[in-house]
Amino acid sequence: MDLLQIGVVLALVVILAIPMAKYLTNVYSLEITKQDSMFGKIERVIFKLSGIDTNDMRWQQYAKALLLSNLVMFIISYIIIRFQGVLPGNPSKIDSMEPLLAFNTAASFLTNTNLQHYSGESGLSYLSQMAVIIFLMFTTPATGLSLCMAFFRGLTNQRSIGNFYVDLIRSITRVLLPLSILIGLVLVSQGVPQTLNPTAIANTLEGATQNIARGPVAALESIKHIGTNGGGFFGVNSAHPFENPNGFTNVLEILSMFLIPAALPLTFGYMARNKKQGWILFSAMGLMLLVFLSITFINEKNGNPALEKIGLSQENGSMEGKEVRFGIAQSALFTSVTTAATTGSVNNMHDTLTPLGGMAPLAMMMLNCVFGGDGVGTVNILMYSVMAVFLAGLMVGRTPEFLGKKIEGKEMKLIAIAILLHPLIILVPSAIALATQLGSSAISNPGFHGISQVVYEFTSSAANNGSGFEGLGDNTPFWNISTGLVMLFGRYFSMIAMIAVAGSLLAKKRVPETNGTFKTDNSTFLVILLATVLIIGALTFFPVIALGPVAEWLTIR
């Protein structure tokens, strides 16, 4: 039954990706499409109210628009949470957030990370939950999708790089908003609350009083997953029965977070007029997912040897930190998908995963290109594709080309920097944290697991994932500042580099395909691509994986 339910969910991911990919291709088309008659009217009102013109941009204008609009979002969000205590929409009398925590929270939600150093139930007012958290949960995946489309257009030789504001607003009106309303209502039908009434007070069967926190959960829950955001309404995120009440909602949430990331490589195929290219990218990511999912599933299913030794049956797997309604199959699946899609919501506690079971999600965030978050994940795998073409080109001594465009020094420098930045902003801060009292004092689980806790926190920040080994006591100035900066670097630096690559490729003439052209839409390329990703990833991260999860595994085995 375990394998069957996992298989069905994965099959559904593939089946849904195909129509979604076609839909997305039309959403971001630079030509007029049928969708315009449906959404055009509303969008024109928004353009008018915002004072936007919809002409094509140069890449520098596109990058500037992306950065400035995100900067404004950051400032407004910071102000609201910094002063939520005196602003309206605060029936539960929640205090204003202190400056460093507010910086971390604003950075976290702005970068689609959703790392939470505050507790959901008590840290934010209703106004902040709505006007900051839900607002950013729409605009950040929309920003990611826009970037992705700019990059696609550059690689596939379109008319221009597009217009940032048009992409941003279409992402919301045509993709994120309709899906969120639909899925949100389905979630309510399964028992996810959507109310503005305060905490309910119950008299339990044994005569005690139970305060039951609730709120406008469903509205947040749907966009949290569709936008690969991940920040929960409640402290324990999608493990809370109000956020994820049963097996069906669990599958629905998994499908929601994979819908866009799984469709985008196929969208790329459509835009490049080469469907096979899209499927090759999809397969590369799919194969990596299968490997890591298997590692997590098998290890969790085998249970915790330390508890087996003291006589607790592990027949149903390692159940500490998991919910009965999900069991091992739905927990392992959720964990793998949420770290692959860099959503970062959790339906079980990742800190409590068995050592190797917890290593797999960590590894996926380190690679950062197994489907990935809305937009950015596909950009990352394309970055690796260009890298693979370059390496293959060097080996046979030809100028590398990707989809008919010559890859030269300028593009390679930008891509190499973007790829290397990711390990740099994980390993350097981890080393600082482990070497100093500032960081190491936050560790809650002694021994090798403590290393995993620290590395997981920075990896999750850099990959803009946001899940945590939650035992870490991370609401301190050191952690708020360091992870805040890592998140901002992790998101914006590579974004700008990629827009620059797109602009540079767009300006080049297409070279005609010859017999000697290195094909990128066949299985040979698939192997080279996987090898590139794994070699770069393994060389960079193997030492730290060995010190953390592997060492812990050896000690309790």
Chain positions 59 to 98 lying near other proteins, rule: CB under 8 A, are 65, 68-69, 71-73, 76
Judge whether 342 and 365 are in contact, CB under 8 Å: yes
In the set 11, 14, 38, 50, which binds other proteins (CB under 8 A)? 50
Closer by beta carbon to other proteins, 212 or else 417: 212
State yes or no: residue 290 binds other proteins (CB under 8 A): no
Query: Which region, judged by CB under 8 A, interacts with other proteins, from 98-106, 165-173, 377-385, 499-507?
Result: 165-173
- Beta carbon of residue 444, minimum distance to other proteins (angstroms, whole number): 7
DSSP category for residue 194: B
Rama region for 32: left / alpha / beta (φ>0; ψ in -120 to 50; rest): beta
State yes or no: residue 29 binds other proteins (CB under 8 A): no
* Residue (of 419, 423, 385, 424) closest to 497 by Cα position: 419
- Beta carbon of residue 280, minimum distance to other proteins (angstroms, whole number): 31
- Beta carbon of residue 148, minimum distance to other proteins (angstroms, whole number): 19
In the set 15, 312, 394, 428, which binds other proteins (CB under 8 A)? 312
* Residue (of 153, 145, 151) closest to 179 by Cα position: 145
State yes or no: residue 179 binds other proteins (CB under 8 A): no
- Beta carbon of residue 524, minimum distance to other proteins (angstroms, whole number): 38
Closer by beta carbon to other proteins, 83 or else 248: 248
According to CB under 8 A, which residues from 182 to 211 bind other proteins? 184-185, 188-197, 199-206, 208, 210-211
Closer by beta carbon to other proteins, 384 or else 553: 553
Tokens of 403: 């989809």
Closer by beta carbon to other proteins, 407 or else 455: 455
Strand duo 209-212 + 200-203: pairing: antiparallel
Query: Which region, judged by CB under 8 A, interacts with other proteins, from 102-110, 270-278, 324-332, 336-344?
Result: 324-332
Rounded Cα distance between 473 and 477, Å, is 11
**How many CB atoms are closer than 10 A to CB 215?**
23
Instruction: Provide DSSP, 416-460.
Output: HHHHHHHHHHHHHHHHHHHHSHHHHTT--S-THHHHHHHHHHHHH
528-551 burial, b if ≥16 CB within 10 A, otherwise e?
bbbebbeebbeebbeebbeebbbb
Length of the chain counted residue by residue:
557
Residue 308, Cβ density class (10 Å: 0-12 exposed, 13-18 middle, ≥19 buried): middle
- Beta carbon of residue 137, minimum distance to other proteins (angstroms, whole number): 8
* Residue (of 478, 470, 361, 482) closest to 120 by Cα position: 470
Residues 220-259 vs other proteins: string with x where CB under 8 A?
A: x-------------xxx--xxxx--xxxx-xx--------
According to CB under 8 A, which residues from 354 to 393 bind other proteins? 354-355
3-state secondary structure of 4: helix
Closer by beta carbon to other proteins, 353 or else 433: 353
Query: Which region, judged by CB under 8 A, interacts with other proteins, from 154-162, 169-177, 266-274, 408-416?
Result: 169-177
In the set 104, 347, 483, 532, which binds other proteins (CB under 8 A)? 347
Backbone angles phi, psi at 203, to 5 degrees: -100, 115
Closer by beta carbon to other proteins, 154 or else 193: 193
In the set 144, 317, 503, 537, which binds other proteins (CB under 8 A)? 317
Amino acid type, 299:
N
Residues 441-480 vs other proteins: string with x where CB under 8 A?
A: ---xxxxxx--x----------------xxx---------
State yes or no: residue 3 binds other proteins (CB under 8 A): no
Closer by beta carbon to other proteins, 106 or else 403: 106
Cα distances (Å, whole numbers) of residue 380 to 14, 202, 219, 366, 517? 20, 49, 29, 12, 23
In the set 263, 349, 500, 528, which binds other proteins (CB under 8 A)? 349
**Count of residues engaged in binding other proteins, rule: CB under 8 A:** 124
Strand partners, 113: none
- Beta carbon of residue 261, minimum distance to other proteins (angstroms, whole number): 20
Q: Which residues contact 143 (CB under 8 A, 6 or more apart)?
A: 66, 69, 70, 112, 168, 375
State yes or no: residue 31 binds other proteins (CB under 8 A): no
